[in-house]
Amino acid sequence: MINTLRIYEELSEVMDPRPAQKLASVLGLIYEDLQDTVKRSDFEALQRVVSELAVSQKELAEAQKRTEARVEELSAAQKQTEIRLGELAEAQKRTETRVEELTRSLNELSEAQKSTEIRLGELAAAQQRTESALAKLAERLDDTNKQLGGLAITVGYTLENEAYRALPVLLERDHQVKLTEPLRRDYLADARGRDLEVNILGRGTRGSEPVWIIGEAKAQLSKNEVDRFIRNRVEPLKAVCGKVFPILVAHMVSSRDVPEYARQRGVALYLSYQFGQQ
């Protein structure tokens, strides 16, 4: 008699209990139907087939377990992939947002650049107008300077002409200098042979000693001009003229201490209003 319990126990080791129980029952029924006709050798062959089937079932179950494990791994990997894809999608959204912001910024910068270029164009045009106006003002200033220069020359010549008439009396009265020739505007060569223009030039005597009268006329006299007169005319001509009597005439002085400063430097000074006090 076949031991279905043993078969069930052996089958339970390689498959689930319910299929093992069902298969053991079927084998028991087959055994009962065939026990009168099937030889022992056939039954043993059947048992070997059943054993092989059990082994195959066991291998199939192991493969099934490995497949399920692999499926679980693939499922976990798929979840990780989905998570990563989600992260990438979020990053892509952030990138697109940033690109949009940059695009707006570039558009704003482009508009600002256009405005700046327009403003620069306006400034360039204004600069050109300013330069044109300055050029016109420069021309007018040159004309004014020329006119003032001409006026200054006229004033200087007028003052010199007045001095030529008034100084002979004033010099003799105030400094005992008597002219031996009329005063004039002329040139004298210095020790190096340079021709120096002298506004007021003439010869005379002081006591028994001959002197050269060397002078200049200024509309307004300052201490600096006193020094310049001594440096540029008096000192260079002493070497060729000998005794020099320096004199300055002016309409006015730049400060009230100029007359005393001239006297201390050895220069006679007359203001134009004194010409009427002869």
Alpha-carbon span 37 to 133, nearest angstrom: 137
Low-confidence ranges of the chain (pLDDT < 50): 147-152
Alpha-carbon span 120 to 140, nearest angstrom: 29
Would 238 be classed as within a structural domain? Answer: yes
**Could you give the angle at the alpha carbon of 18 between the alpha carbons of 12 and 24, nearest 5°?**
65
Would 230 be classed as within a structural domain? Answer: yes
Asked if 187 contacts 195 with a C-beta cutoff of 8 angstroms, the reply is yes
pTM (2 decimals)? 0.49
Would 114 be classed as within a structural domain? Answer: no
Would 23 be classed as within a structural domain? Answer: no
Q: What is the pLDDT of residue 90?
A: 87
Residue type at 86 in one-letter notation: G
- Give residue 181's domain range: 156-277
Would 255 be classed as within a structural domain? Answer: yes
Would 48 be classed as within a structural domain? Answer: no
Alpha-carbon span 259 to 124, nearest angstrom: 54
Alpha-carbon span 274 to 270, nearest angstrom: 7
Would 56 be classed as within a structural domain? Answer: no
* Domain at 205, CATH number: 3.40.1350.10
pLDDT in tens, 49-93: 767 777 777 787 787 888 888 878 888 888 888 888 888 888 888
Total domains in the fold of the chain: 1
Q: Which among 153, 151, 155 is positioned nearest to 250, based on CA atoms?
A: 155
Would 180 be classed as within a structural domain? Answer: yes
Phi-psi region of 64 (alpha: psi -120 to 50; beta: other; left: phi over 0): alpha
Q: What is the pLDDT of residue 97?
A: 85
Q: What is the pLDDT of residue 151?
A: 43
